[in-house]
Amino acid sequence: MLPLLFALLIAAGRPDWVERESAGWPREMYLLGVGSADERAVAEDRARAGVARIFTTHVSSALAASTAESSVRKERTAAWTEQISVSEETRSTTDKVLEGVEIVQVWQDPQSHQFYALAALDRQQAAARLDARLESLETSARPLRAHLDAPERATGLAAATRLLRLERDRRALDGELRIVAPTRPSRAVVEETAARELLSRTSVGLTVTGDDDGVVLDAVRSALVNLGFAVQAEAAGPDLVGEATVALDKLGNRDGWYWSRGRVEVVLKDSASARVFLNLSESVRDASRIERESSRRVLAKISERLRKEIPAAFLTTTDDF
């Protein structure tokens, strides 16, 4: 356990950790963060944030690099990892590790009255928590792998998408382990190849109506491809049927601005059973000094939302199968 030194240090003089390495808190044993502020609570929060930044900087870079590498190496079937915000993913995977962060010393400068706080995370304890989480993820993955060959397509697709999320979580946790235990030999990367292959063998026939410029079509196709599906131009004979309906309304001119409203509904369902995997609607209003430009802006904004929301909605829906 960390030695908890919450006593306010004033008479002891300026601690070494305020400006440099600390002999009492060696970095080979602890991850450290220092914060300063006029208020003690703020200084402590900033010190904790200093430890968190070690993870967000390194893990975000690792996830981005891994995504770029896998996208090149596996093309569309691995690119789905881009659909989860790196910052959100880093935050969720780091929270458990940061449970072990302690404010171990606080010092107030007798002249400026400013508070300085030192936060520390025990590397060994953090590594143990990460090991436990990795083992928990592997325990969750084993039964899912057995469901990839399920007779019902919905069951197999649900298992595949969950496995890919578990793979993403393992990748993030492995990155954190490299931070807290840099001298430990790297773990072998477990890739859910069978899950990717199932998605890549699943064809989607996509049709979009009401999209004169093809902007929405490109966005929906991109979102489905990034999930790992094989999207085909014709609607005949696919495993899944994707339909998107675009409705665009001109709302008139107000004070020299042309307003438009757009709504898109996207449905993805099994071609044999008609079971719905995805039912998503997006609506946007926007304006421009140029009449046609307002409609273009609306469709562009909706398309950007669809690129993010379709993968997220699909992953959420398959959790119920």
Q: What is the CATH number of the domain that holds 71?
A: 3.10.28.20
Return d(Cα 242, Cα 208) in angstroms, integer: 8
| Greatest mean pLDDT among 7-21, 56-70, 177-191 | 177-191
Amino acid 171: pLDDT:
87
pLDDT at 48 over 50: yes
Q: How far apart are the first and last CA of the chain?
A: 43
Of 152, 170, 197, the residue that ends a domain is 197
| Greatest mean pLDDT among 53-67, 197-211, 220-234 | 197-211
- Per-residue model confidence as pLDDT tens digits over 163-172: 988 998 898 8
Residue 2 maps to a domain: no
Q: Per-residue confidence at 321, pLDDT binned at 50, 70, 90?
A: low
Strand partners of residue 283: 263
Residue 78 maps to a domain: yes
Residues 91 and 22 reside in one and the same domain? yes
Residues 154 and 218 reside in one and the same domain? no
Return d(Cα 202, Cα 229) in angstroms, integer: 6
Residues 105 and 179 reside in one and the same domain? no
Residue 1 maps to a domain: no
> Cα–chain-centroid distance for residue 173?
13
Range of the domain at 311: 202-318
pLDDT at 124 over 50: yes
Of 123, 154, 186, the residue that ends a domain is 123
Residues 157 and 116 reside in one and the same domain? no
Amino acid 30: pLDDT:
95
- Per-residue model confidence as pLDDT tens digits over 244-302: 999 999 999 999 999 999 999 999 999 888 889 899 999 999 999 998 899 999 999 99
Residues 71 and 162 reside in one and the same domain? no
Residue 3 maps to a domain: no
Note whether 242 and 280 are within 8 A (CB).
no
Residues 12 and 100 reside in one and the same domain? yes
Return d(Cα 81, Cα 88) in angstroms, integer: 12
Residues 288 and 182 reside in one and the same domain? no
Note whether 103 and 33 are within 8 A (CB).
no
Q: Per-residue confidence at 107, pLDDT binned at 50, 70, 90?
A: very high
